[in-house]
Structure 1
């Protein structure tokens, strides 16, 4: 606390000062060619990661159980919006929390041109 000349007491904020912005790590990126038309599409961040997982999985596809990630449905939504066909297969599962889960399968043939950290 500080007392001003006029007798008013000022409380100092206990909030720490903002630290200077640090340089962010490069985002993950993937560039793929849609076959057979040859259109090239680049995806970044988690959408790029999801595309890599879908390509790697092939016909087997990906589930949030086998490929843990917070928002598979959002990633596939954005991938579809970019022009790819991703099939959603609903599968039943047993156990104490029986129900269904999604398996996502990339149906658009693609060739990976480049993948890794973006600049």
Structure 2
């Protein structure tokens, strides 16, 4: 399977920028966009390093992503993060990359 690549357009400091985002960072951004105001959690959207993907999207691409801390119960009660994309982002797949369907990698 080919690597996932998307073109993302969004505002940074009042300026519209367009960046190519690849791999797991592209996947995480697609999941955030698909989730909308509901946001994503490592519990609902399993992935090995959500916090790293969010850190990279915030600091490398300067996307505005809110973190909401939530309690969870069960055998291992504690806290988990819910990540909500605040930036308005327009996405399109890069020609020849892995398929993107309905805002999600296919």
What TM-score do the two structures reach when normalised by structure 1? 0.72
Aligned residues: 95
- Cα deviation, residue 88, structure 1: 0.9
Q: Which structure ranks higher in relative contact order (CA pairs < 8 Å, sequence separation ≥ 6)?
A: 2
* Structure 2 gaps, min length 5: 99-106
Q: 1:7 maps to which residue?
A: none
1:105 lines up with 2:84 in the alignment: yes
Q: Tell which structure's C-alpha radius of gyration is larger.
A: 1
Q: 1:31 maps to which residue?
A: 7
Runs (4 or more) in structure 1 with deviation over 2 Å come to: 35-38, 113-119
- Cα deviation, residue 77, structure 1: 0.6
CA RMSD, 1 decimal: 1.9
Q: 1:70 maps to which residue?
A: 48
- Equivalent pair of 1:46/1:75 in contact (CA under 8 Å): yes
- Cα deviation, residue 29, structure 1: 1.0
Q: 2:104 maps to which residue?
A: none
What TM-score do the two structures reach when normalised by structure 2? 0.80
Q: Secondary structure at the match of 1:102?
A: strand
Q: Structure 2 vs 1, CA of residues 116 and 77 (structure 1 numbering), >3 Å: closer, same or farther?
A: farther
Higher strand proportion: 2
Q: Secondary structure at the match of 1:39?
A: strand
